[in-house]
Amino acid sequence: MKADLHCHSYFSDGKHSPDFLLNRAETNNISHLAITDHDFVMNPKDFMLRKSKVHLISGVEISCEWQNREIHIVGIGIDPENSLLETMLLKQRANRETRVEKIHRLLLKADIDGLMKYFESQHCISKTRSHVADFLVLSGATKNRKLAFSRFLGKGGRAYVPAIWVSMEEAIYAISSSGGISVLAHPGRYKLSKYQLNGLVDAFKKTGGAALEVSYGNIHPNVKKALEETALKNKLFISAGSDFHDAGAHWTDIGKFPQISVPAEKYAVWQHPKWYF
């Protein structure tokens, strides 16, 4: 078993097709791949995917609010046709749409036109600020994505628009209702103190969360070790994924994140009763 349970396609802010991701997974000897786009679940029935040795798992990464912070919950093994989840994701994507329109209006004030036209040329079903950052670089408004966030899109930037996300509880409930397993994504990226992280993990578990993502692209070995210990201490399962977006940039390749340690692997998410792939 070699699974990568977190990556993005061009249906959100990834740069590549699902076929490309499957191909890459096969090349890198991955047996199970979950494509987890931001607030969008791909239904394989709707797309002509190539035949692959890799087991494709339906997934999603939901942006949520917890105690006035943004956190991400990955859902794996969900039914893409579940109506409760779909209704919630439609609401999320509608809020993303509104946010992008507001950003567009703020950019117009800075004499930057063309964002909506740019989106027409993209495959995305879920619109993100990541797309807007690419547009700002492409149009010459900023030199790179980092500057796009600091000057325009991040807090304090001139085109900053706060997001409206569902609560963590709603996201976990929707994932569970659709038969999926909830994973707290990249817990080391939220800039939380140890105390705050314990509070988040506690709330996540109490609302039905099942697993912690303990390994992902660019994770520090000490953070990975601490997260494995946190998962075991809290009797949570363990998940891992590259969070791959783009082969042309410095994203971790599919399957190339640090491996889960041998003792922690006993609690890997593929031991979860809902895992059937």
Q: How far is residue 101's CA from residue 170's CA, in Å, rounded to a whole number?
A: 25
Per rule CB under 5 A, is residue 4 in the interface with Mn ion? Answer: no
Which regions of the chain does DSSP assign to beta strands (E)?
A: 3-4, 32-35, 55-66, 69-76, 166-167, 181-184, 211-215, 237-240
Q: How far is the CB of 138 from ligand AMP (least distance, A)?
A: 15
- Candidates 62, 217, 243, 267: give the one binding Mn ion (CB under 5 A): 243
User: DSSP assignment, residue 4?
Assistant: E
Q: How far is the CB of 60 from ligand AMP (least distance, A)?
A: 13
Per rule CB under 6 A, is residue 163 in the interface with ligand AMP? Answer: yes
Three-state DSSP at 273 gives: coil
Q: Which does 72 bind (CB under 5 to 8 A by kind): Mn ion, ligand AMP, none?
A: Mn ion
Q: Which does 146 bind (CB under 5 to 8 A by kind): ligand AMP, Mn ion, none?
A: ligand AMP
CB atoms within 10 A of CB 26: 16
Two structure tokens written together for 191: 């800039």
Two structure tokens written together for 43: 């239904």
Asked whether 159 and 153 are in contact (CB, 8 A), the reply is yes
Per rule CB under 6 A, is residue 32 in the interface with ligand AMP? Answer: no
Using alpha carbons, select from 184, 167, 2, 5 the residue that is nearest to residue 77: 5
Per rule CB under 6 A, is residue 63 in the interface with ligand AMP? Answer: yes
Residue whose CB is less far from ligand AMP, 120 or 194: 120
Residue whose CB is less far from ligand AMP, 102 or 225: 102
- Candidates 53, 143, 146, 233: give the one binding ligand AMP (CB under 6 A): 146
Interface segment toward Mn ion; rule CB under 5 A; list 26-34, 43-51, 112-120, 185-193: 185-193
Q: Containing H/E element for 183? A: strand 181-184
To which residue do tokens 């609010």 refer?
Answer: 65
- Name the CA dihedral angle for 161, 185, 90, 65, rounded to a multiple of 10 degrees: -50
Per rule CB under 6 A, is residue 145 in the interface with ligand AMP? Answer: yes
Size of the site for Mn ion (CB under 5 A): 5
Binding residues for ligand AMP, rule: CB under 6 A, are 13, 38, 63, 128-130, 133, 145-146, 149, 154, 163
